[in-house]
Amino acid sequence: PPHIYIGSAGIALLCYHLYCLNPTFTIATIPIATYCLSYLHAALSALPAPPRRSHAPPTHPVYTGFLGSPVGPLALATVVAHKVSNDQNAAKEYLSKILSRYHPSAVNAVGRNSMSSNELLYGRAGYLYALLFVKTHCGGSEVGAMVSDELVRQVFDAILSDGKDYAQIFKTVRALKDEEAPPLMWCWHETEYLGAIHGAAGIVTILLQFRALAEPHLDDLLRVLEFVVGLAFPSGNFPSSMSALERDELVHFCHGAPGVIPALTLAYDLYPSERTRRLLQAAERAAECVWERGLLKKGVGLCHGELDWVVWWESMDTAARCFQVIELFKVESPSIDIPPNRDPGISGNAFAFLALHRSHTLHPDSAASTHQDLGRAQAFASFAMDWKRDTESGDLRLPDNPYSLFEGVGGAVWLWAELWGLSGEGDERGSGVEGGGIGRMMGGFPCFTDLV
């Protein structure tokens, strides 16, 4: 599919990210904006037909997440038309398609189990991110004004409503006391996931970014994160779901510590207090697990995936661009001890360290070392530089989509660009604030905490 997660829209988003870092950036003398428009056109051309309107109740859910549905490419098209092409009419048209075709489905979940429509990848939390993405990049314009507070509130309230309803079911089924049960809980395919991509931590992370709406419910939202922290393994890692409380296995963004850490640090960044400091401390413990076990064999993308060698040569145009970008974002290996006997792994796990780096930078009273956080991220990034050699040798398994944003080298390029920006190369990025007019702190996880 042409979506953000593994499709051409993800490469277009990567190019737009590079454009925001430096609008004059070129690859082989061609402006990065040109590549952005090219990949975006490919994605939009491949989008499926919009959901049909019918008076009959639908039997299958309509996906609305930024990462795993047409909403992502359309939201990106809105922003690119506004900021890159300066075509405000086109921007309004793309956004109108989102609001007319997908907003009703985001508010009124469809299918057999409406409570399965709240997570980040396909559901309401991902749709909220899409609205925030447009609002952030088009703020102060007529395009941004189309994302009204009321539209956002409708989706926010729907997520909370499902969370409260399912929390009662969860409490009863698990036979939990009032003080033991979280006030909010969600399920995905009849499983209570806890991590970033399908679970409670990911949903709460998105909700916390809408501060005016979140503050009246802050106690409930923090109690969900505290519930997840209470399930941590002795290693500092977290179970992927309530069905895996005894299995300390997965250490990647989708399931496990790398996806929960940005949730915990963001709570402290946005709502600093002694209570959220304890969440930050849990994130620091979890980071030790990522450091010891986070260099995996599933490729260098932001998440994970593997298949066979057939797809290796299917995206050589994208590959050529990635090779050229690699030369521009060389990351030096830091003077820091590397965990022994580990194989190169996932760039997404490095963002766990960048999340801590951002928190420790924003709150310099912390006793933790920002140098260590950044050094660990650089160490993971330096391993990722050898992705081609290690894949050919068999040390790395080949992802399903080896050049995509979330499964492939596109995610590594995003990581290298973040480290390049944090290094102070060019403009005023040494402060850790991105250019391009959105004024966000660098180091946020793409499509998750990168708009803060």
- Binding-site residues from annotation for Zn(2+): 254, 303-304
Token pair, residue 377, equals: 């991220």
Picking from 295, 382, 286, the residue whose alpha carbon sits closest to that of residue 334 is: 382
Side chain identity at 60, as an amino acid letter? H
Picking from 72, 91, 94, 73, the residue whose alpha carbon sits closest to that of residue 83 is: 91
DSSP string, 278-329: HHHHHHHHHHHHHHHH---SS-SSSS-----GGGGGTTHHHHHHHHHHHHHS
CA–CA dist 62, 60 (Å, integer): 7
b/e per residue 403-421 (b: at least 16 CB within 10 A) = bbbbbbbbbbbbbbbbbbb
Annotated binding site: 254, 303-304
Q: For the purposes of burial, counting CB atoms within 10 Å of the CB of 124, is it exposed (0-12), middle (13-18) or buried (19 or more)?
A: buried
Picking from 71, 59, 66, 132, the residue whose alpha carbon sits closest to that of residue 96 is: 71
b/e per residue 427-449 (b: at least 16 CB within 10 A) = eebeebebbbebebbbbbbbbbb
Pairing of strands 30-31, 26-27: antiparallel
Picking from 190, 224, 229, the residue whose alpha carbon sits closest to that of residue 205 is: 224
Picking from 406, 439, 89, the residue whose alpha carbon sits closest to that of residue 253 is: 406
Side chain identity at 189, as an amino acid letter? H
E strands, 201-299, in order = none
Side chain identity at 227, as an amino acid letter? F
CA–CA dist 51, 62 (Å, integer): 7
CA–CA dist 112, 363 (Å, integer): 45
